A and B are shown apart, each in its own frame.
Chain A
Amino acid sequence: MDPNQIQAPIENYANPKTCLFHVLFKGAALAFYILSALFFNSFVIIFVVTVLLAALDFWVVKNVSGRILVGLRWWNEINDLGESVWKFESLDQESLSRMNKKDSWLFWWTLYLAAAAWFILGVFSLIRFQADYLLVVGVCLSLNVANIIGFTKCKKDAKKQFQQFASQTIASRFQSTVQSAFTLV
């Protein structure tokens, strides 16, 4: 037998297409912003294309890759009382633990790296006193940060829910055991 076959297979990306899209728009926005100065003179084109790519990335991360890669989703609703409520949705604990580790690693790290990259670019444009480029960076940074905050909150909420559920199940099982113990006596 080939010794390689006996080893456990190295986990691969479970959703390569989604991972690709997740990274694609972020990378495209950053690349376009950085390289565009070489090709385009017009600020308008740079602004519109970069912000468009960043908005597309926001949508893809929020609605597609968040769901598929880490099983989380967040949104905001206004309830009947007119208050704003943040809603979080997550898969159950079983599916969450079965999520591909590589996928979720990629998801979180590219999120953080992209935000850090935009922040650095923002510092550059601040140093150069380019207010209009600062505008672009500001918009892209805020979109990225919104996603980071939303998903972090969602993850914490999912953990909290699971802990609550676990403690409740333990409590109720304990009750049922105690009850059945009493009835047997």
Chain B
Amino acid sequence: MSQGDTVPLHPSSQSDIDEIENLINESIQSGPGTVLAARPPSPTRPSIPVSSSPFMQSNLPPLPPSSSAQKVTPVPVPPPLPVVSNSSNSQGGSQGIGASGFGSPPNTLTEPVWDTVKRDLSRIVSNLKLVVFPNPYREDPGKALRDWDLWGPFFFIVFLGLTLSWSASVKKSEVFAVAFALLAAGAVILTLNVLLLGGHIIFFQSLSLLGYCLFPLDVGAVVCMLKDNVILKMVVVSVTLAWSSWAAYPFMSSAVNPRRKALALYPVFLMYVSVGFLIIAIN
């Protein structure tokens, strides 16, 4: 790249913008005291979809150009350390890529694969704990499931389907297909229900929530699979059903208008009740 061909690059390899800024400052100091001309404003962060977090600089909110006397707004800049990205590209295979961390915001592009796996797994566990078990964050449901992911729900739905299918003595395939389709379509429809009621919830966040709330029913299904006593099944299913509903309650109710809380919660309860019946009825 020919960015720095008129200026010798410092060994500390300043970013290009910093170099240009220094040039400007030097020319200002040596010349008349003109105010720094307004730089083209940084791209403002759009309120909805696309926002980018560039490789090196974090997306700090852009300072208004008039206030930038010496320090210029950090424009998204490619990293000044081509050496590091070079080495991260040329290493073959999926392992052994050096971790990043030049003291910049977490740079996930060059992390080792094992880090990604661990990060995702720990996110599943933390989401599960936030949703299903009592914890102080349940007061603020919006924050609790900030880091939604769909892997947990996926595993729970498949696990529930498998458990039901295993317990069934006949028509195993139909049971699995019905359970999976019921849960998946049910989650989508319930989310649409909340959205149509004028609730403020994000589609994937709600799917994620409803999936995680299946965990108690999973436990119940496993217990019912191991012990085939009808009374025990009913007790276990009612307990886990109550647990699931309790888990889902704060998230769903905070998303809608208080007068419409029941309208949003009733279908959720209905879905879990039908899954509960499925668990009891399978033998």
Contacts and interface: CB of A to CB of B under 8 A. Distances in A.
Contact of B50 (A86, A93, A175): A86
A84 B200 CA distance: 11
Contact of A86 (B1, B51, B120): B51
B108 A89 contact: yes
B27 A176 contact: yes
B136 interface: no
A2 interface: no
B47 interface: yes
Given A14-B89, A17-B92, A164-B43, A47 B76 contact: no
Interface string A149-174: 00001000110010011011101110
Given A86-B50, A169-B3, A180 B27 contact: yes
A128 interface: no
B1 to A, nearest CB: 6
A167 B20 CA distance: 14
A95 B16 CA distance: 16
Nearest to B145: A78
Contact of A82 (B77, B142, B151): B142
Contacts, number: 169
A10 interface: no
Given A83-B48, A91-B85, A95-B82, A176 B23 contact: yes
Interface stretch (B171-179, B213-221, B244-252): B171-179
Contacts of B64: none
Interface in A115-173: 132, 135, 153, 157-158, 161, 164-165, 167-169, 171-173
Given A95-B86, A172-B39, A63 B116 contact: yes
B109 A67 contact: yes
A79 to B, nearest CB: 9
A88 interface: yes
Given A18-B93, A89-B53, A84 B202 contact: yes
Given A64-B94, A179-B31, A44 B55 contact: no
A92 B39 contact: no
Contacts of B116: 63-64
B146 A78 contact: yes
Contacts of A91: 55, 85, 89, 109
Chain A: number of interface residues, binned into ranges: 35 or more
Chain B: number of interface residues, binned into ranges: 35 or more
A55 B154 contact: yes
Interface in B1-45: 1, 3, 16-17, 20, 23-24, 27-28, 30-32, 34, 37, 39-40, 43
B113 interface: yes
Given A95-B85, A179-B31, A88 B55 contact: no
A181 B270 CA distance: 76
A89 B92 CA distance: 21
A157 B146 CA distance: 24
A94 interface: yes
Interface string A39-61: 00011100110011001000100
Given A82-B202, A88-B50, A180-B27, A135 B109 contact: no
Interface in B53-85: 53-56, 75-79, 82, 85
B55 A180 contact: no
A87 interface: yes
Contacts of B148: 78
Contact of B23 (A42, A98, A180): A180
Interface of B: 1, 3, 16-17, 20, 23-24, 27-28, 30-32, 34, 37, 39-40, 43, 47-56, 75-79, 82, 85-86, 89-90, 92-94, 97, 108-110, 113, 116, 120, 142, 146-148, 151, 154, 158, 161-162, 165, 172-173, 176-177, 180-181, 200, 202-205
10 contacts: A14-B90, A52-B158, A73-B108, A76-B204, A91-B55, A92-B78, A95-B89, A161-B52, A161-B54, A180-B27
Interface of A: 14-18, 21, 42-44, 47-48, 51-52, 55, 59, 63-64, 67-68, 71, 73, 76-78, 82-95, 98-99, 132, 135, 153, 157-158, 161, 164-165, 167-169, 171-173, 175-176, 179-180, 182-183
A-B complex: 5 closest residue pairs judged by Cβ atoms? A92-B78, A183-B31, A43-B173, A17-B93, A95-B85
